[in-house]
Amino acid sequence: MTKGRSLIGRCLLAFVWCATLAHALEESQSPYLRLYADHPIEWRAWTHETLAAAREKSKPIFLSIGYLTCRGCRVMNEQTFLQPAVYEFLNEHFINILVDREERPDIDHVYQAFVAGTTGRGGWPLNVWLTPDLEPFLGGTFFPPEDRPGQRGFLSVSRLAARGWAEDRANVVARAAELTEALHQLATQQPTEGLGAGPAVWQAALEQLVAEADPDHGGFGEGPKFPHALNIRFLFRLSAEPRIGKHQRQMARELALSALAAVLDGGLHDREAGGFHRYTVDRAWSEPHYEKMLYDQAWITQSLLDAWQLSGEQRWADAACATIDFVRRDLARPDGALAASFNAHTVGDGPVLDDKVVTAWNGYMIAALVRAACLFNELEYFDTAQTAARRIRAQAYNEKSQRLYRLPGGPPGFAADYGAMIKASLALYEAGLDPVWLDWARDLQAAMERRFGDETAGGYFITEAEHSQVLVRMKDTFDDAEPAASSTAAGNLLRLAALTGEHAYRERAGAIWDAFAGHHRLRPAAMPLLLAQTMALANPAQQIIIAGDPEQDDTQVLWQVVRETYLPDAVILMADTGRGDRGTWPDYLQAMTPIDGQATAYVCEDFVCHLPVTTAAELRAQLTSE
């Protein structure tokens, strides 16, 4: 009888525990975690309580990282995780933790580095076995349930991990400690010799990208094919750089236009529903993976706007507007914020919207929307951008502590979230001169310095020390689908300097290059967005102010010249003479008024201005002179 009660008691406790785990996932801000709330694997979230449980029980952790619109994650779930032999084994031998990489990019970054370093490849789903102290000892990406020719099955690897922990724990722990030390060294290594921010490093990056270009199908690499929008943006910026030769400028321009044409004309572009898929599985751009990420829409839009300004070809402008229309139609939430991604896959589980609000991704898209609004005089684009920014500030920001959050109600924000929202705030300020946005940008920059800045080696850590919950604090050293936070910060600091005249911002931007210059000796195009900022760093800060009534033709004539000219480093402001709140403007704008009642343009370098001009021809001459 006692034995029976004990068995019943254990079953009841197990039921209560599983119900508690399911409730924790159901309450998550992540749709990906909520999807697995009733899963046969006893998934837990990455929390202090979960990590403490692993240490108390001295039980190894199985960590799986994915995201809602990850097709490979769904396939592995269907083919592997739902097999009874698999979930029964995991529940018996491991603490099983599920992480949404879009919610916790810091955790993903650490274990991607481990898996890439030990297997030669990374990606999602990412599956890693850890000691209770979070040190990795085994890992990989996609696993079939059973062994296949040339590939170990998931059960085989899981049994290996469990057997090692049970029978040879000392060696497993020692090996995990060695691998963790390698991660620490990777995170803290300082190249002994860097490169100057000048033509030599730009030329080397161009040569690397030319070597990686696909001459037959366009883009970079042999497949799968990604948009590589940040490579394209660097090449466009290089094509306008007078400190390199004319031949190199032309080469950069042609490569950028060719790569962007491949993105626009191939299967990555959804011509019917709008927007761009994340990548194609083949070299010829014909077979897309169907997720459409908000950050891709933002950076591709920026590249399309670059192409339009540099070439004048309407197709690029049309494509940019069509992409924005997709975002506003399919990714704008009822509350005004922008959803993370959309899966357009039409087989199996249908079209899926990941409606979580990622702060960084909203920031990237807000900046793109504002730029398009200014170039095309589309007030609706600006309204969408400003509404999204206000929603982020209301729901994912604590005014008292000046802390951003990765998502409303989610974990504390990462350096990328701060950098992206600073970028968005500065764009909103330049477009409307509302001091609220400049003040917020300055507050966020100060918070980013306090929480993420590396005072010893320079640059920015991904996560702040106080809220990290990670094995190693690391920095992004590559601009990939998303830019490294340090790359974004360099551009923000330069714009803050150009808007405020405070040279300290510019000095900090230069220090970022010093921190990462050594990484570019082995891979010159490692951080293309940062390289683009070094071109601005080598020039005086440029301010362009149009003083006049935006509703009048003479103002629009001058504005037309500005909008059609590629000016990647300039701060461009409209001193609207009809506004009644000029008292909030910075001092240098107060004196910039129309001459003899005629709309007037002021082109300045470090706030020292050329002679004011009132005609399109005069303004064009000042903007295009080298």
Write b or e for each residue in 191-224: b if 16 or more Cβ atoms lie within 10 A of its Cβ, otherwise e.
eeebbebebebbbbbbebbeeebbeebbbbeebb
Report the interhelical angle of 314-326 vs 294-311 (nearest 10°).
160
CA distance 587 to 337: 34
Nearest residue to 223 (alpha-carbon basis) of 289, 157, 132, 271: 289
Strands (E), 199-351: 279-280, 288-289, 291-293, 341-343
Contact indicator for 530, 487 with CB cutoff of 8 Å: yes
What would the pLDDT profile of 80-109 be if each residue is shown by its tens digit? 999 999 999 999 999 999 999 999 999 999
CA distance 612 to 340: 45
pTM exceeding 0.85: yes
CA distance 421 to 404: 9
Average pLDDT estimate for 121-136: 96
Chain centroid to Cα 373, Å, comes to 22
What would the pLDDT profile of 253-284 be if each residue is shown by its tens digit? 999 999 999 999 999 999 999 999 999 999 99
CA distance 277 to 269: 6
Phi, psi (deg, nearest 5) at residue 67: -160, 165
Region of residue 570 (phi > 0: left; psi between -120 and 50: alpha; otherwise: beta): beta
Structure tokens at 99: 């992480």
pLDDT recorded at residue 353: 87
Distance from the first to the final alpha carbon of the chain: 93
Sign of CA dihedral 380, 386, 388, 391: negative
CA distance 225 to 39: 33
Nearest residue to 591 (alpha-carbon basis) of 542, 545, 541, 550: 545
Q: CB atoms < 10 A from the CB of 509, how many? A: 24
What would the pLDDT profile of 272-327 be if each residue is shown by its tens digit? 999 999 999 999 999 998 889 999 999 999 999 999 999 999 999 999 999 999 99
| Residue 554 pLDDT grade (very low, low, confident, very high; cuts 50, 70, 90) | very high
Average pLDDT estimate for 238-256: 97
Q: What are all long-range contacts of 508-515, with beta carbons under 8 Å and residues at least 24 apart?
A: 508/449, 509/533, 509/537, 510/197, 510/537, 511/458, 512/458, 512/459, 512/486, 512/487, 513/197, 513/537, 514/194, 514/458, 515/454, 515/457, 515/458, 515/459, 515/486
Contact indicator for 367, 437 with CB cutoff of 8 Å: no
What would the pLDDT profile of 519-552 be if each residue is shown by its tens digit? 888 899 999 999 999 999 988 999 999 999 999 9
Nearest residue to 463 (alpha-carbon basis) of 104, 112, 181: 104
Contact indicator for 132, 59 with CB cutoff of 8 Å: yes
